[in-house]
Structure 1
């Protein structure tokens, strides 16, 4: 049986998801380019392109969570993920508002 070196408990899943959301919102212009790249491969307005565009951010979120877990601990990694998601969400709202007013 294949055994993974990382224990996937609820804190790991939540922390990775929070960091992925924060990175997705924080780098939303890059996320839009990733979606366009996947749409060019899979077809215009493909729902699969939108779903696949999250994969790089999940990987980066997992790395962020894992590195913070190693350095600060589980609870800090999740707490900082919550703060990052809130901060990047506010940033994204402000960025879209400023684009709409131009």
Structure 2
């Protein structure tokens, strides 16, 4: 389908995409306070940027609740982008250091380790 629209071809490596996704999930779980901070900063920026689009204060206040909810949703979606970039770098580093066959395995181990860490962190925080 993309080859009909674009005059060139994309070579997508499924192993690299899976490895980068696994590493980014591991980093997102392992550094969850940082991911919450990134989402909060993006939400603040979206709210600030959208305020400048309105000239009428009444219109801004009338649609505020819906826009802030939408901005919070977009901020949570876009907060994964830095972790995808770092996850791709980690996957690339593992491929260079240990070989291509270890990239997915190390990503799965990192996801499990960071998931257990996050569960323990939340349990320790609640008690």
Q: Highest relative contact order (Cα 8 Å, sep 6+), 1 or 2?
A: 2
1:80-95 map, 5 Å: 80-95=106-121
1:19-30 map, 5 Å: 19-30=23-34
Q: 2:20 maps to which residue?
A: 16
* Residue 8 of structure 1, CA deviation: 2.8
* Residue 2 of structure 1, CA deviation: 6.5
Q: 2:40 maps to which residue?
A: 36
The answer on 1:63 being equivalent to 2:75 is no
Task: Point out where structure 1 has 5 or more consecutive residues left out of the alignment.
Answer: none
Which TM-score applies when normalising by structure 2? 0.72
* Residue 10 of structure 1, CA deviation: 1.3
Which TM-score applies when normalising by structure 1? 0.88
The answer on 1:73 being equivalent to 2:77 is no
The total of aligned residue pairs comes to 99
Q: 2:79 maps to which residue?
A: 53
Task: Point out where structure 2 has 5 or more consecutive residues left out of the alignment.
Answer: 1-6, 48-67
Q: Secondary structure at the match of 2:101?
A: helix
Q: Distance in 2 between matches of 1:8 and 1:62?
A: 14
* Residue 3 of structure 1, CA deviation: 7.4
Q: Distance in 1 between matches of 2:45 and 2:9?
A: 34
In our comparison, the structure showing a higher alpha carbon Rg is: 2
